[in-house]
């Protein structure tokens, strides 16, 4: 049982285990919000999402750069826009409309918070039926800034990008001390989680970085890493209790960096074949993972419907039923909104590439051509005059 090679890693077209990790993260969050056991500490699933997001986005950028020599900002933002925005605004519209019909548009907080939801500053919106979308505020600002930073740091200088990610993680650790009294004191550390994924992507893309992490890609190591991560996850509550109050910061905030680093180790192990990868790549895990984004956003609607028809339901039963209904609603959104809009985005990008190719061909045809040399003297006379 061999570890993955760097060439094998670069040749991977997709990471099948990541669907399973997204599935686990989404279900953890729903269980946390709607009756799941406290020892499960499902809120940490959002941090797993953040690490995965930083890793995947950066990996795609680095591979695009490796294949084409550059990163297309326009295509990046188009892909993100068609992937993220349609479902986000559909569920926001349904939530706001439902609140209006129920007469709770102001009292439940969604009315006053609309300005935050429309500007992706969700993490500062406060409590409302769309409060779970706070993480989108964090991620959208990352999507906006990180590609610009990556390009500004140079085309192939991975060390600079790794340094920028590490510096960002350090700043997040420092800034959190100045936001301890804020209503959302942990918001800087969410960027620590995302940048942990960024740093991991940069490290794995580099031959030297991959060599350091390669032992984790062994199937046997994958099994031990998986068991260790479960142990870390189940230790989130006691670790948070131990750290609670340091510099006046809640323990559940201070445990975020620990969990993010543990997720990065797990993610490294999951890029290679192994027993855990096989489980996370099964069809049920893939099914939930593909719908995890919609499930995450639609959970409050699902819970509201369940509460209306089954108000006495609580505990683990509630979390299971809400998750099941959420998955059903997410499947509808996945097939009617997510996939069609993703495909539309791809068509838009394809058309733009075709137009750019035609424009380049026309420009090439219109450019002055070097004359065919008739003799050595005429050839020398034209050196430096011909346009490529």
Q: Kindly report, residue by residue over 192-201, the tens digit of the pLDDT.
A: 999 999 999 9
At 181, the pLDDT band (50, 70, 90 cuts) reads low
Contact between 216 and 269 (Cβ < 8 Å) = yes
**In the predicted model, what is the mean pLDDT of residues 369-381?**
42
Long-range residue pairs from 314-323, CB within 8 A, at least 24 positions apart, any chain: 314/35, 315/35, 316/35, 316/36, 316/37, 317/35, 318/34, 318/35, 319/30, 319/31, 319/34, 319/35, 319/36, 322/30, 322/34, 322/35, 323/27, 323/30, 323/31, 323/34, 323/295
- For residue 384, being part of any structural domain is answered with no
Quick: pLDDT tens for 128-144.
999 999 999 999 999 99
Cα distance between residue 49 and residue 139, in whole Å? 10
Q: Is 265 exposed, middle or buried (0-12, 13-18, 19+ CB in 10 A)?
A: middle
At 205, the pLDDT band (50, 70, 90 cuts) reads very high
- For residue 375, being part of any structural domain is answered with no
Quick check: helix, strand or coil at residue 133? Answer: helix
The yes-or-no verdict on residue 233 having pLDDT over 90 is: yes
Residue span of the structural domain in which 292 resides: 14-365
Q: Among candidates 330, 308, 310, 329, which has minimal Cα distance to 318?
A: 310
Instruction: Specify the pLDDT at position 384.
Output: 36
At 313, the pLDDT band (50, 70, 90 cuts) reads very high
- For residue 214, being part of any structural domain is answered with yes
Q: Is 320 exposed, middle or buried (0-12, 13-18, 19+ CB in 10 A)?
A: middle
- For residue 201, being part of any structural domain is answered with yes
Residue 160, sorted as left (phi over 0), alpha (psi -120 to 50) or beta, turns out to be: alpha
Which tokens in the block code for residue 331?
């499947």
- For residue 27, being part of any structural domain is answered with yes
Cα distance between residue 127 and residue 125, in whole Å? 7
**In the predicted model, what is the mean pLDDT of residues 151-171?**
82
Instruction: Specify the pLDDT at position 1.
Output: 65
The yes-or-no verdict on residue 380 having pLDDT over 50 is: no
Instruction: Specify the pLDDT at position 375.
Output: 39
- For residue 288, being part of any structural domain is answered with yes
- For residue 190, being part of any structural domain is answered with yes
Average pLDDT, the chain: 90
How many folded domains does the chain comprise? Answer: 1
Which residue in this structure is represented by tokens 């600002």?
141
- For residue 381, being part of any structural domain is answered with no
Residue 128, sorted as left (phi over 0), alpha (psi -120 to 50) or beta, turns out to be: beta
Annotate 229-288 with three-state secondary structure: HHHHHHCHHHHHHHHCCHHHCCHHHHCHHHHHHHHHHHHHHHCCCCHHHHHHCCHHHHHH
């Amino acid at each position: 049982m061999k570890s993955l090679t760097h060439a094998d890693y670069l040749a991977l077209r997709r990471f099948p285990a990541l669907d399973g990790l997204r599935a686990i993260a989404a279900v953890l969050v729903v269980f946390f919000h709607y009756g799941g056991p406290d020892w499960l500490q499902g809120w940490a699933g959002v941090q797993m999402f953040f690490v995965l997001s930083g890793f995947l986005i950066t990996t795609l950028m680095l591979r695009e750069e490796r294949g084409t020599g550059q990163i297309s900002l326009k295509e990046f933002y188009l892909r993100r826009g068609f992937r993220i925005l349609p479902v986000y605004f559909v569920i926001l519209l349904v939530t706001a409309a439902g609140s209006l019909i129920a007469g709770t548009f102001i009292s439940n907080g969604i009315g006053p918070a609309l300005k935050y939801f429309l500007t992706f500053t969700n993490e500062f919106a406060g409590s409302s039926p769309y409060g779970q979308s706070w993480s989108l505020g964090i991620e959208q600002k990352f999507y906006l800034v990180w590609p610009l930073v990556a390009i500004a740091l140079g085309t192939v200088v991975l060390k600079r990008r790794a340094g920028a990610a590490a510096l960002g993680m350090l700043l997040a650790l420092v800034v959190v001390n100045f936001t301890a009294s804020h209503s959302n004191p942990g918001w800087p550390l969410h960027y620590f989680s995302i940048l942990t994924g960024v740093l991991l992507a940069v490290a794995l893309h580099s031959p030297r970085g991959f060599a350091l992490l390669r032992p984790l890609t062994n199937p046997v190591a994958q099994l031990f890493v998986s068991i260790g991560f479960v142990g870390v996850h189940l230790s989130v509550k006691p670790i948070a209790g131990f750290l609670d109050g340091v510099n006046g910061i809640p323990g559940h905030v201070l445990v975020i960096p620990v969990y993010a680093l543990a997720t990065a180790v797990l993610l490294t192990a999951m890029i290679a074949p192994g027993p855990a990868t096989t489980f996370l790549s099964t069809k049920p895990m893939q099914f939930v993972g593909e719908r995890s984004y919609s499930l995450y956003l639609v959970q409050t609607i699902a819970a509201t419907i369940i509460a209306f028809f089954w108000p006495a339901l609580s505990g683990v039963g509630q979390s299971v039923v809400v998750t099941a209904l959420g998955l059903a609603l997410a499947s509808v959104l996945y097939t009617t909104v997510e996939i069609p809009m993703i495909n539309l985005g791809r068509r838009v990008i394809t058309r733009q590439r075709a137009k750019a190719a035609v424009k380049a061909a026309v420009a090439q045809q219109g450019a002055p051509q070097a004359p065919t040399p008739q003799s050595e003297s005429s050839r020398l006379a034209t050196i430096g005059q011909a346009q490529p």
